[in-house]
A and B are shown apart, each in its own frame.
Chain A
Amino acid sequence: MSRTAIVSSEVAIGEVAATRPRKLSTYRRIEALWAYLFISPTMISFFVFVLGALIYGLGLSLYRYAFFAPPQFVGLDNFRTLLQDQRVVNIFGNTVYYSIAMVAFDLVWATAVALALNSYMPNFLKILYRMIFFFPVLTSGAVIAIVWRYLFNADLGIINWFLGRFGVAKIPWLMSSKWVRPAVVLFTVWNGVGFNMVLILAGLRSIPKTLYEAADIDGAGRVATFRHITIPLLTPTLFFIIVKGFIGVFQLFDQPFMIARGGPGDASRSIVMYIYELGFQAMRLGSASSVALVLFLIILLITLLQFWGGKHWVFYR
């Protein structure tokens, strides 16, 4: 009873206060205070660990910081060295390869499976297949890489044995600079395709059946229907997957690290692996920060470009 009385009086005060010109009525004030309390842990964490860290990282990239010596200001030197570093060129090349190969491969795979799961088949099979395709997403990329290392083994691995039955010669997957990147792509896409499959399936299901019926009446074949109805209406989902995919590939670490430690030489090394090496093995924190900053800017740039380009091909209802 007393609680109700207090809260009712809260409301009453608020109403009275609202008639007076005032910035925020007491009622609103209390609501706002609760709100600030509620968001405070997340806010503090954001300002310290995200914003603060980002700005600090920005500053750090202008220094030469060898960790056991005090940092020295070197201005843009770190960036100059970066541009001349041959390894950086190779590693960025790897990342370009990874992004295009992984996003494309993932999209095709996820779309094919989603289309199959959206077609006419027994429901329990749909659920079963969906579970099998989605499960790898939940496992640890770093740990399953250990399993895939053995699968990719040139002499004793299952993959080469399987290919051998079709007459294909033994491929030195993780030992050859030519084959290690496809291996990383195959493993990483296997790890993540289930997620995109679910997204595309949701997108497929949201296409109104009436459109398909109309197309059918107009005599459209399966290919035409696919090209002119399914794909256009799927573009928002595909756009989301592509944007997210590129951002994800640029942050790749666990999979290439655990499956080949960067491959023969630098063949499969990702940018984040290089940041790790610079910052935590060579202890050159300034250089590592500069690479990290460049990485961040590139991700930002690519995402903005994609949004700009998206206006032209994404179809919103």
Chain B
Amino acid sequence: MTTVVRRQANSRKSYWNPSTVATVAGMTVFSLMMAFPFVWMFSTSLKVPATAFKLPPELWPYEWRFENYRQVLQHPTVPVPKFFLNSFKIATLVTLGQLVTCTTAAYAFARLRFPGSSFLFMLFLTSIMVPGQVTIIPMFILMRKLGLMNTHGALIVPGLTSVFGVFMLRQFFMTLPNELEDAARIDGAGTFRILWQVMIPLVGPGLATLAVITFNGSWNAFFGPLIFLNDWTKFTWPLGMAMLRGQYGEGSMSVQMAGISLGVIPTAILFALGQRFIIESITFSGIKG
């Protein structure tokens, strides 16, 4: 007994061996380079453009000039706060929509038996192969016919469902034991009640991940808004940042960086809160897939 305890106490090697030190040193350099664009971006957003271009780069600004942020939020010609509002509205609606539709569909495919379930699911899978850009022209024409052209609806309606979301949540549902459902049915619960009170609480991490990925994806989307929105008051944040640049690149660099830094904040928040979930979910589906 004592021998076992002693072995465990000594089995922790020191971190100070050459191999580990070398790896850590390399990784530190690498991560600094990896994170550099964000550091530069934030630091530039606090400077006057003239000093921003100083080389060697002065990463810790001499004086923190929040003026750029004030300028970007009160820009005379470009309505930046509106862009953020638009993006937020679209992202929220899309996320809520997908949470509802993907959960129900995933549960149906994972646990319910109905004729055609495997065929329909196969069909679904094929749509992952169809890139969004290939269907963009028919979508453009369709949106025109539906009268949704140049509205947020054109972005929200197709975004209310997601094959990827169904796929991911289905994996989660399939990990739950069948017995749960049987027990609930014996207790007299109908299908909907089982879903609402038994299944959903158990796939919490899956729902959280879907919500984060969907919100973030919508927040960052560029191609869809570019195609469907003409009216610049309806623009989303990524399009708005392109507008800040101006037709010939005459927009102030620091102001642009301030705008971008602001736009990255929701992503950073979601990341801080959910990174464990997201990374675990990717890991989880990576092993299965």
Contacts and interface: CB of A to CB of B under 8 A. Distances in A.
Interface of A: 3-4, 7-8, 10-11, 24, 28, 30-32, 34-39, 41-43, 45-46, 48-54, 56-57, 60, 113, 116-117, 119-122, 125, 128-136, 138-144, 146-148, 150-151, 156, 158, 161, 190, 195, 198-199, 201-203, 205-206, 237, 240, 247, 250-251, 253-254, 258, 272, 275-276, 279-280, 285, 288-289, 292-293, 295-296, 299-300, 303
Contacts of A28: 113
Given A34-B192, A38-B108, A293 B134 contact: yes
Given A46-B127, A57-B134, A292-B136, A35 B286 contact: no
A38 B105 contact: yes
B115 to A, nearest CB: 7
Residue in B31, B134, B221, B245 whose Cβ sees the most chain A Cβ within 10 Å: B134
Nearest to B135: A53
13 contacts: A31-B114, A32-B113, A35-B108, A41-B161, A45-B101, A54-B138, A136-B34, A138-B270, A141-B220, A143-B263, A253-B133, A295-B133, A296-B130
A288 B287 CA distance: 38
Secondary structure dominating the interface of B = helix
Contact of B238 (A52, A60, A143, A247): A143
Interface of B: 13, 15, 19-20, 23-24, 26-27, 30-31, 34-38, 40-41, 44, 53, 55-57, 100-102, 104-105, 107-109, 112-115, 117, 120, 123-124, 127, 129-142, 158, 160-163, 166, 185, 188-192, 216, 219-223, 227, 237-238, 241-242, 245, 253, 256-257, 260, 263-264, 267-268, 270-271, 275, 279, 282-284, 286-287, 289
A147 B257 contact: yes
B41 A198 contact: no
Given A35-B114, A143-B263, A240 B129 contact: no
A250 B34 CA distance: 25
A195 to B, nearest CB: 7
A53 B56 CA distance: 52
The 3 A-B residue pairs whose C-beta atoms are closest, nearest first, are: A140-B220, A142-B222, A38-B104
Contacts of B131: 247, 250-251, 295-296, 299
